[in-house]
Amino acid sequence: MPARTAAPFDLESLKTALPKIFAQAQSTTANHQKNFVALYKLHSDAAAITEPVQNGKSLKLTGERAFQDLFLDMLTRILPIKKGTPVADRIVKFTAGYSKFITEKNVEERKKNELDEDDDTTSERFLNQLVRFLLKGCTAKDKVVRFRVIQCIADTIAHLGEIDEDLYTDLRATLLERLRDKEPTVRTQAVIALSKLSFSEDPSELEDGEPTILDTITEAMAYDTSPEVRRAALLNVPLSPQTLPALLARSRDVDPTIRKLVYTSVLEKYCIPSDRGPPSAVGFTHPRALTIAQREMIVRNGLGDREESVKAAARSLLGAWVDVVRSDGSKKEEGVKSEGIIEDVVAFLKLFDLTEDTIAEDALSSVLQTRVDIYEHIEFPDDYWTSITPEHAFLARVFVDQCLAKNDTLKLDTVLPVVTALAFRISDVYNALVQQIEADAAFASEDVDEDERTRREEMRLDREFAIGEMLRLAINLDYGDEIGRRKMFQLVRGMLSADVLPEALLPRCLDVLRVLSPSERDLIRVVVEVVHELRDPSEPDPEADGGGKGDVDDTETEMGSPRRPQRASQLPKPITEMTPEEKAHADAVDLRCLALCIGMLERVNGTFEENSTLEGVLGELIIPAVKRREMALREKGLISLGLCCLIARRMALSSFQLFLSQVQAAPEVLKIRVLQIIFDILMVHDDAFLGPGSPNGEKIVEFLLQLLEAEELDSVQALLVIGISKLMLSGMVTDERVLQTLVLVFISPETATNQQLRQCLSYFFPVYAYSSAANQQRMRKIFIPLYERLTKAYHDWDGEEDMVTPSQVALMFVDWTDPIRAATAAKGLRKDSENDSIHLELATDIVKALFSADYDKEDKKALCQMLGKLNLPVEVDDDKVRVLKLLVTNLRSRRPPRDTAAKNALAKFDATLSKKYEKQLENFSEEEFRKLEELRELFEFLDDIIPDEEDEDEPPRKGRKRYAFLSSC
């Protein structure tokens, strides 16, 4: 029987076959693979139909052209369909899937037919035609068409294979242009398409100064106004060292979803390689692949975020870091024994600088809170304390803090070491530190390489840090055991008495000593004894050594013992009789003693009079240090004296003038210290200096204002502003001049680079204004005088920095004096805010000011436009409304604004006033108002107004130099 021959393919059949395939594809994605095969069969059959042309010298691809036209016709039908329609999305996905399918078939075809690179295939011609067709729609007027076209390109572009240079150039230029499209949906798809195209870009082929695709994507990720576009850039940009900083910067994005995606879809997702590489391979965002600065930024931004979802994502990331941070880079499997948990956490801590801020502590606390499996299995056996490293000491201290925070007494009892055992461990590390310090002193004279010197320095710092962490841990121990308490007391007192103890450890020792002391008086007594021993070492203390074995009864007072009169004859020589070496040693001892006094006074809450022991230290150490010329001694002496003043009211009153005199000519560091002391004294003893009956309150305020206006150092300016803001916010200072000065400093272009100052005031003004109605009234009262000064300064300004315009300042005051916003900020504490008349009173002030001839048309325009933004109360006193109406009517008739916009704004406000208070203004008569005695001044003011006749604007004034801003105000 002869074989059946297939019927020749009829191109007309495409018109029925293709629509059927597309109809099936749009209904569900489950049949796409089957339809790829069917469509490719039709495509191949159609491509086989050709026509000879030019006498058989070439072929016309009739079948291919018919298939392409019909395919594009089917695709065109979904282009006008809006985003989110499932049938259109399925066709786009089907088109991209078919592009991938024929690209894979194209590779097989080339191998089978052994085609050269110059020979094109049916698949390549189809894809080129498809892309060129889609590029034509990128400039369509319809935004939906542009979106669908770019969506098709974005889904198809990864499967194009090799395309010719001209098509690549057109594609790149078109997508870069669509990245500036006004529609966010179009820009989103352009970002996705460019991210896929960036892999094929060669930066060396670009012209000088031309940005690469990655540059444009990272720019869009940082600056595009649409969160959708930034999110698409974040999720699709290729991971590389070039894009990593931009990716991490999105952890501070304004959109919380993007901030969360940084942690979940970038950092945690790529922590481990997606492909199964060697066991030692690490992911692109593996913590060991990041720098320490990047790791700390990730922790700081994530755990410090305001959104709980972002915090949770950051905690999840840190939990994953603990699992992957081991040397092999692999993730810990389930069921791992608890013995390795400590090693994992220690390896995790090595990712951070333990001494830098609280980043490492926050990270470890987060892990202990979220990873219950780690928290439950952490234990500190005896061998844990044998070789203490900074990470081990840090882990123990933070873990104990977490147990205390959770009130987990059972866990605390199992992990806390015995007091005596910890004291011996601290003593061992301390003795090793002392030996190293002594060895380094001898080592300093030798000629050694820098690496060895750095290694020894790091070793010394590690021991210091470990001692500090163990001392912080010792604060939380149970000192019910008298033997352990005595041992710890001997150790800490001996460390304080040794001049080799690093100054950074003094506060830690004092914290432990405060816990061990029965009262503040005993703490002060012990510290004063140590100070006397350091300054007069002629009688060595047998217990000064931390390893001393004698028992000390720390409840006995030794300051009154017969040894004190003997020391009077053994006082140090006067400074004038000392050799330079003796003087340097005496100064070093005094600095150590002052540091001890500062630490002690910071921990004292009682009054100076209750602790008479301090009198001796004050007269023998602190006062002489204040009189010294050496900067270090004088600085610590002033700090000590300031701390004494905080607990001694009389001393504060007698010493305050001394601190004020030190501010004038002091260098920057000392000036900052003294100003901190001044503000602390004012805050603690407010009634004595700034109270209603204080004779010097006005002088102090004047002094601070003069200092602020004359100060040039940014750090000192910022400190002054912070201190004055605290005084204003607490109600200790209510002078309107101070408030006006702060506003001028805030808007001054001279403080534009002082970010600390600007940040403080940008927070202060809303908080101050919204905290009470009285504060809002003060803001209202200063507006017009401030506006007058500001407009003059604005026209005189000729500096390089841009200055805040008067209209911007007017909008700020609208917000600050808004009672509705204040009620919202107060969360219900301020009642009946809709009837607060402050904005009505502000409108009265503004209209009165508009009668003035000192403003030019722009200044008046800003005030007139400000009227329309005020919140007028619902219920208000009739007289206030009538006075305002009277002023507006006279302004429009006698001194109308010359600017059209200002005139319209004033007319609109007048109409709003008449409509809102129609009942109050009914039967309103100016003649009757003139008879009221309390309005005599108002009518005298109105009668003195001379109507404007000349339609002339004031010419702009010439500017002065930039340093004149504050003085001109």
pLDDT tens, residue by residue, 607-660: 888 888 888 899 989 999 999 888 999 999 999 999 999 999 999 999 999 999
Q: What is the pTM of this model?
A: 0.80
Of 930 and 428, the structure prediction assigns the larger pLDDT to 428
More confident residue, 210 or 24: 24
Instruction: Provide the token pair at 731.
Output: 């109600």
- pLDDT (tens digit per residue) in 402-460: 999 999 889 888 888 899 999 999 999 999 999 988 888 776 666 667 788 888 889 99
Determine which helix (DSSP H) or strand (DSSP E) holds 53, and give its type and residue range.
strand 51-53
- Our measurement of the distance from residue 488's CA atom to the centroid of its chain's CA atoms, rounded to an integer in Å, reads 41
Structure tokens given for 211: 């940005």
Q: Would the pLDDT of 295 be above 90?
A: yes
Q: Hey, what are 790's tokens? A: 């500001």
The pLDDT score that the predictor gives to residue 331 is 52
10 Å CB burial of residue 874 (0-12, 13-18, 19+) is exposed
Task: Indicate whether 553 pLDDT > 80.
Answer: no
DSSP-based three-state secondary structure for 60: strand
Amino acid at residue number 688: A
Alpha carbon distance 85, 81 (integer Å)? 7
Mean pLDDT of 76-88: 92
DSSP H or E run through 478? none
For residue 898, pLDDT over 90 is answered with no
Quick check: 968 pLDDT over 60?
A: no
Q: Give per-residue pLDDT as tens, 496-531.
A: 999 889 999 999 999 999 999 999 999 999 999 999
Residue 136 has pLDDT above 70, yes or no: yes
- How far, in Å, CA of 801 to CA of 962, rounded? 9
Pick from 227-231, 445-449, 698-702: least confident = 445-449
- Round to whole Å and give the CA distance between 873 and 876: 6
Q: Across residues 76-100, what is the average pLDDT? A: 92
CA distance 337 to 750: 62
Q: Which two tokens stand for residue 386?
A: 């044998």
Checking if the pLDDT of 492 tops 90, the result is: yes
Q: Is the pLDDT of residue 364 over 50?
A: yes
Note the helical H segments in 407-481.
Answer: 409-415, 419-443, 450-474
Provide the mean pLDDT of the chain. 84
Q: Which two tokens mark 227?
A: 């969160």
Going by C-alpha positions, the residue among 804, 796, 733, 807 that lies closest to residue 768 is 733
pLDDT over 90 at 304, yes or no: yes
Q: For 561-566, what is the mean pLDDT?
A: 37
**Token duo for residue 656:** 């305050």
pLDDT in tens, 703-744: 999 999 888 889 999 999 999 999 999 999 999 999 999 999
More confident position, 747 or 107: 747
User: In angstroms, rounded to a whole number, what is the distance separating the alpha carbons of residues 897 and 856?
Assistant: 10
Reading the block at residue 627, the tokens are: 């009189």
Indicate the range of 239-248, 400-409, 618-627, 941-950 predicted with least confidence: 941-950
Q: Confidence class of residue 678 from pLDDT cuts 50, 70 and 90? A: very high
Displacement of CA 180 from its chain's centroid (Å) = 29
- Say how far apart CA 644 and CA 594 lie, in whole Å: 12
CA dihedral 500, 503, 505, 507 (to 10 degrees): 130
Residue bearing the bigger pLDDT, 563 or 854: 854
pLDDT-based confidence at residue 3 (cuts at 50, 70, 90): very low
The radius of gyration of the chain's CA atoms, rounded to the nearest angstrom, is 40
Closest CA to 426 of 508, 365, 347, 481: 508
pLDDT at 148: 94
**What's the pLDDT at 956?**
46
**Selected residue with higher pLDDT from 937 and 433:** 433
